[in-house]
């Protein structure tokens, strides 16, 4: 099994000290982003600096797209699938932990049901990151993984109905473009990823639309 996976993408060994430093940095980055996101949530839009109002970061960080993109970025740039699992997990622990510690200790409320969604995402994130790491590899499996990543980001960037297709949120549309850039390995590979990813997007769109209408 290891030989099969190594043929897709081969892990790179790094020293233990580099592993500790990189994971610590990602944990601290997660903590900072979690606190920053919650501070934006707790601040009225008209009290934010003008450039933050224009960029609409308050809503941006409350949506799923940015966190999916950051997790994908961390996983793809890790040195091995195991490192991807650890790095994404510690990033989410830092982000989710700091966000809800701030929510409970500073904002003074405890959104249990919503918090459990993010706790569940944190728990499963290592498994998703492990698979995601192989998207930057070779072969059909890497192309399929990249295609599904593009499909998920397309779900955030576009809104699709029976008679329309539109950009749902401009910043997430920019993340969608960034996803294409990050997944790029060659023109031929990108064409396949784009074609398969958007095919899955449109094929599954009716199910997504039906779920939203429930």
Tell me, yes or no, whether 147 and 209 share the same domain: yes
| C-alpha distance from residue 24 to each of 30, 86, 88, 90, 139 (Å) | 10, 11, 11, 8, 33
Tell me, yes or no, whether 60 and 37 share the same domain: yes
Tell me, yes or no, whether 69 and 106 share the same domain: yes
Structural domains in the chain (count)? 2
Rounded Cα distance, 95 and 102, in Å: 11
Tell me, yes or no, whether 89 and 23 share the same domain: yes
Residue span of the structural domain in which 91 resides: 1-133
Tell me, yes or no, whether 213 and 144 share the same domain: yes
Rounded Cα distance, 78 and 141, in Å: 19
Q: Name the pLDDT band for 48 (thresholds 50, 70, 90).
A: low
- pTM of structure: 0.89
Kindly state the tokens that stand for 95. 């982000």
Tell me, yes or no, whether 71 and 148 share the same domain: no
**Which tens digit of pLDDT belongs to each residue from 9-30?**
999 999 999 999 999 999 999 9
What pLDDT is attached to residue 212?
Answer: 42
Is the pLDDT assigned to residue 147 strictly greater than 50?
A: yes
Domain termination residue (choose one: 92, 114, 133)? 133
Domain termination residue (choose one: 116, 133, 150)? 133
Tell me, yes or no, whether 152 and 102 share the same domain: no
For residues 14 and 82, is the Cβ–Cβ distance under 8 A?
no
Within 10 angstroms of residue 208's Cβ, the number of other Cβ atoms is 13
């Amino acid at each position: 099994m290891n030989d099969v996976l190594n043929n897709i993408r081969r892990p790179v060994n790094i020293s233990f000290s580099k592993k500790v430093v990189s994971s610590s940095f990602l944990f601290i980055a997660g903590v900072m982003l979690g606190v920053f996101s919650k501070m934006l949530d707790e601040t009225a839009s008209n009290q934010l600096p003008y450039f933050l109002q224009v960029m609409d970061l308050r809503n941006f960080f409350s949506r799923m797209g940015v966190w999916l993109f950051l997790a994908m970025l961390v996983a793809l740039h890790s040195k091995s699938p195991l490192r991807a699992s650890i790095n994404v997990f510690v990033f989410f622990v830092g982000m989710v932990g700091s966000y809800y510690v701030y929510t409970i200790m500073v904002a003074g409320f405890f959104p249990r049901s919503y918090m459990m969604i993010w706790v569940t995402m944190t728990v499963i994130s290592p498994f998703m990151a492990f698979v995601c790491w192989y998207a930057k590899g070779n072969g059909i499996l890497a192309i399929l993984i990249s295609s599904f990543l593009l499909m998920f980001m397309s779900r955030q960037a576009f809104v699709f109905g029976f008679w329309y297709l539109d950009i749902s949120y401009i910043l997430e549309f920019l993340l969608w473009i960034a996803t294409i850039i990050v997944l790029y390995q060659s023109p031929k590979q990108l064409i396949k990823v784009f074609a398969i990813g958007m095919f899955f997007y449109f094929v599954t769109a009716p199910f997504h639309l039906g779920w939203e209408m429930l």
